[in-house]
Chains A and B, each alone.
Chain A
Amino acid sequence: MRNESRVYLGIGSFFVLILVIYFVWSRESTGSVLLLASAGLGLLPGLYIGWWSRRMQQRPEDVDEVAPRDITGVVGQFPENTIFPFTLGVGAWLVGLAFVFGLWFAIIGLGFVFGAAIGATLESKRASLSERENRV
């Protein structure tokens, strides 16, 4: 994880440098604020990942020579086909259109959004119960 954190930290510290030069030189506010935000966007995740990288075991993807015991086990859980991202997308789109064509679009859209939220939650619950280790 060390290098991941360095990517963010490198970009973040570059923005700090640019920010200091820019602000001292120009005293212009819009750009300085944007650069400050960008510096934060680089430094915050960088520091967080760096903080974790000291507290976790080295992952198999970070070592040059992989031992056989590193390459067995669970990668993660991946979902099956699901309709709810589509539902959520349509909902968000209708809410977006409400900004152009009027509020009634948002009412339909929010229906889709809440439908998707409920559906996706139930689906995840069902799926996680179907996994062996989650069965009670």
Chain B
Amino acid sequence: MTTLQEPLVQTAGVVEHERKAPGGFYKWITSVDHKVIGKNYMYTALTFMFIAGAMALLIRTQLFNPDGHVVSLQTYNELFTIHGSMMLYLFAGPFAFGGFANFIIPLQIGAPDMAFPRLNNLSYWLYLLGGVTMLFGFFTASGAAAFGWVAYAPLSSAPYSPGPGPDLWIVSIALVGFSGIFTAVNLVTTIFYLRAPGMTMFRMPLFSWSMLVTGILILIAFPVLTAALVLLYADRHYGAHFFSVAGGGVPVMWQNLFWFFGHPEVYILALPFFGIISELIPVFSRKPIFGYKGMVFATLAIAGLSTGVWAHHMFTTGTVLLPFFSALSLLIAVPTGIKVFTWIATMWGGQIRFNTSMLFAVGFIFAFVMGGITGVMLASPPIDFYTHDTYFVVAHFHQVLIGTTIFAGFAGIYYWYPKLTGRFLHEGLGKWNFWVTFIGFWITFMPQYLLGLRGMPRRIAIYSPTDGFTFLNRMSTVGSYMMGIGMFLFLLNFIISWRRPRPAGDNPWDGFTLEWATSSPPPAHNFHSLPAIRSARPTWDMNHPEHADAVPAVTGGDESAQ
């Protein structure tokens, strides 16, 4: 154990001498340092992203031709199930609240580590092992789960989906769900109890606020999913009849339970990335965020509303209260709109530096506005009747989710990479990475809106040449290959920075928040000294005293006496 003293303000810190830490593989397994665990999370999540992305390319290849024969029907169904499950459960969420949050939050609030470091390590292992378990399904005789990432009962029950594949899927998601709950507990506790002196709630960086709200949402949503999975497993193996009509069960209850998790989940995926954007747009515009409190309340409003709209995924079941859910769903457009306008107003009048990180951030806003607008359309039940379960919906949520997890996520990677590693990623290659991905993104998903409107249902492996879907599908496939190339460029960039490091300073972007006040990469337990925290931008105040947010403190001569 290491007992940590508060680092002294503006003086050399007093960190008790530590036992020499082990190195290599053993260190990787045993480390309870939030920075090591955070990086582990990021690398793992990105690996899952590349695997699931490869599956997406296979899916698109199958759809390149009508009556495609690239994969069999069964394999196709497994592919889109695991693609969706991996992207949502194993990449997007853990990437944000396991990767970014783990690494950044303690640094941003001036904490030496997470509140429960060993729990943090445990949740990484549950995540990694649980995630790999999902892939085991492909190596079983009857194949992986093949019922979509939503696993609608009764299709997911034993008579219609026999075999170990679905069970592996259930176990995998239960483990990952527990890992998410542990991480959320850790995050909320850290943010509540380990902030640096002077870091009041309303001085916390917006990324920390987003993660706090995300943590609370995880605590609301994930237990519901875990419970639903237990019920499903009991149905499959113990003859329970929660979701089967024959035994007096209610199949629609699965949808209620699932989406009560599923819709907050969408915002669990999105809010951290909103937080990232709210961090780096001000930094690259060299202006504070426009309306800090408005952003905080918008985040809280999204959290509240997102839990009250689960049934807008169930408009076409005919069993839900349409006006209630459509009203709340439409209302979510308001806080998200506030966020978008805040970002624009922050850029307005600034000095915007368009490096790769900022390019990705702006790309995110474009993608997100597009996805948000179609989201408002889908919030209207009649339009949803028309487009539900078609490629219109597919395009909508890919635009929102790729907008957030890929564009905002990569903006975050390019932004914090110097802090993570002490190195820069290559700017030129980064810009190629952005443009290829960005253009590929629009070519992939804009045709899908039209496909949906022309009547192409989602999750179909084949279509007829007479349907008139061929051209648009081909366009979409070409776009998806472009995105694949864009992702490959990122990998290249990563390898280059690994083989030929270009050192970055402690504060290469002239950042605002506390993580830029320590060295890159940060030392064990993060800070040797903390700047005085008198506003939401302590590092900026320290580096630009003439433009500081904080009014210089007058404390009756106490400070001069020091």
| B partners with A | yes
B514 partner residues in chain A, CB cutoff 8 A: none
B220, A61: Cβ atoms closer than 8 Å: no
- Given known A22-B321, A74-B5, contact A82–B30 (CB-CB < 8 A): yes
Indicate if B348 sits at the interface (CB-CB under 8 A).
no
Contact A38 B307 (CB under 8 A): yes
Inter-chain contacts of A90 with B (CB < 8 A): 125, 129
| Segment of B15-23, B154-162, B284-292 engaged in the interface with chain A | B15-23
Q: Are B555 and A99 in contact, with the CB atoms below 8 A?
A: no
The proximity string for A residues 2-28 relative to B, scoring 1 for CB distances below 8 Å and 0 otherwise, is 011001101100110010011001101
Bound-state CA distance A82–B33 (Å) is: 11
B1 touches A131 (CB 8 A): yes
**Min CB gap A115→B, angstroms:** 14
**Among A4, A35, A61, residue most surrounded by chain B Cβ atoms (within 10 Å):** A61
Structural contact, B195 and A73, CB atoms closer than 8 A: no
A-B contact count (CB 8 A): 200
Which residues 81-99 of A have a CB within 8 angstroms of B? 81-86, 88-90, 92-93, 96-97, 99
B5/A72 in contact, CB under 8 A: yes
Chain A: how many interface residues by the 8 Å CB criterion? 64
Number of chain B interface residues as a range: 35 or more
Q: Does B496 contact A (CB under 8 A)?
A: no
Q: Whose C-beta in chain B lies nearest to the C-beta of A30? A: B256
The answer to whether the Cβ of A71 comes within 8 Å of any Cβ in the partner chain is yes
Q: For chain A, residues 12 to 67, give those with C-beta under 8 angstroms from any C-beta of chain B.
A: 14-15, 18, 21-22, 25-26, 28, 30-31, 34-35, 38, 41-42, 49, 60-67
Contact B164 A101 (CB under 8 A): yes
B503 at the interface (CB under 8 A from A): no
Q: Which of B1, B4, B257, B308 has the most CB of A within 10 A?
A: B1
- Chain A residues contacting B310 (CB-CB under 8 Å) are 31
Convert A96-136 into 0s and 1s, putting 1 for each residue whose CB lies closer than 8 angstroms to a CB of B: 11011100000000000000000010000001101100000
Q: Which of A31, A71, A82, A128 contacts B256 (CB under 8 A)?
A: A31
Q: Which residue of A lies closest to B196 (CB)?
A: A61
Structural contact, B307 and A73, CB atoms closer than 8 A: no
A31→B202 CA distance, assembly (Å)? 33
Q: Is the CB of B304 within 8 A of A11?
A: yes
Measured between alpha carbons, how far is A11 from B307 in the docked complex, in Å?
10
For A61, give its contact among B2, B126, B200, B562 (CB under 8 Å): B200
User: Is A66 in contact with B125, judged by CB distance below 8 angstroms?
Assistant: no
Q: Does B334 contact A (CB under 8 A)?
A: no
Q: Which of B168-176, B411-419, B432-440, B472-480 contacts A (4 or more CB under 8 A)?
A: B168-176
From 100 to 138 in chain B, residues with beta carbon under 8 angstroms from any chain A beta carbon are 111-113, 117-119, 121-122, 124-126, 129-130, 133
A-B contact pairs, 7 of them (CB 8 A): A18-B308, A28-B320, A31-B260, A78-B4, A81-B32, A85-B121, A128-B1
Task: List 13 other contacts, CB 8 Å, given A31-B256, A62-B201, A82-B118.
Answer: A21-B324, A28-B321, A63-B197, A65-B555, A71-B9, A77-B1, A78-B32, A79-B117, A90-B125, A93-B126, A99-B171, A100-B171, A120-B118
Q: Which 4 A-B pairs have the closest CB atoms?
A: A89-B125, A60-B197, A85-B121, A85-B122
A interface list, Cβ under 8 A from B: 1, 3-4, 7-8, 10-11, 14-15, 18, 21-22, 25-26, 28, 30-31, 34-35, 38, 41-42, 49, 60-68, 70-86, 88-90, 92-93, 96-97, 99-101, 120, 127-128, 130-131
